[in-house]
Amino acid sequence: MVDIVHHGITFPDAPRVFDLHWDDRGVITTSRGARRLHRAPVTTEFIVAWSTSGSRLRPHGFSIESDMSPARRPVIVLHWGDGRAVDLGVMAEALRAGQEDQRRRDVAMAERQAYIAERTVEVHARLRSTQAAVGWAWSPQAGLKVRELLDAPSLVEWQWAAAEHLIARAESAVVAAQSKVATAAAEVEEADLVAVEDAEVRAAVLAAVQHITRFDDDLATESNGVGWSPATSKPGHVLAQETVLDAPRAVVGMRLLRRHPRQVPEHLRSILGLAA
């Protein structure tokens, strides 16, 4: 192929780059004036360059035609209309700049992916820690959201915020439950303290509360006669975390146990005077 002179204008030949094999269609007249049209099947070299520097190649006449060839392969269409040949040195510099931009984008993407992976591990760890310690404080709906977050292999910003919100809700619910237990303990009558004045009885109350708590896996969401009920679940979990119960808290615990006597082990029922 050679340069073509048309109406006094020189239309240069297509550049020998990217292993492209050009088909010269000659000079055509378009709404933008005369153009020399070349077409070539895409090559791997061109696609690599286009993927990183497409916007930098367009000023040099390159564009990808939207139509498909009979072989169902996209073709490269190269237009020139101003009689100006491609400056390969300028184009090479544009490619280098495009590749450098792509390299920076790749580095930024890799850094972001690494950060997302690190944050996902951290958020999952915080959720699991909260779930293990005070998962009982979440509502069933919140618990479902927690499971969805834990099942997700990768979390992004809005999910990090959602996880922190769920953790904060659990912490607030714990404080509220502890406050209710403390209030109930403070309102215990003197006459009620007599039944738990023996340390063995208070220890039995704690053991029974902890026993029922261990079977409260569904967090009172199912009516199966196992674990706490919705009304007793949160105070039961609060008391189960104690190592020793004082007399007022033991009275609160006894009130809970009276609502679930059949779940109290027999040897503890005998100490507490609970009927099955």
DSSP 112-174: HHHHHHHHHHHHHHHHHHHHHHHGGGS-HHHHHHHHHHHH-S---HHHHHHHHHHHHHHHHHH
Strand pairing category for 33-41 and 62-68: unpaired
CB 120 within 8 A of CB 155: yes
Radius of gyration (Cα) for the chain, nearest Å? 38
**Cα dihedral across residues 58, 62, 64, 67: positive or negative:** positive
Say which residue, 50 or 237, is predicted with more confidence: 237
CB 36 within 8 A of CB 4: yes
Q: Which pLDDT does position 109 carry in this prediction?
A: 95
* pTM value surpassing 0.75: no
CB 257: neighbour CB atoms within 10 A? 24
Tokens 């007249």 map to which residue?
29
Of 26-35, 116-125, 197-206, the range with the lowest mean pLDDT is 26-35
Q: Round to whole Å and give the CA distance between 57 and 31.
A: 22
Q: Round to whole Å and give the CA distance between 145 and 143.
A: 5
Q: What is the pLDDT of residues 11-36, one digit of tens each?
A: 777 777 888 888 777 777 777 677 77
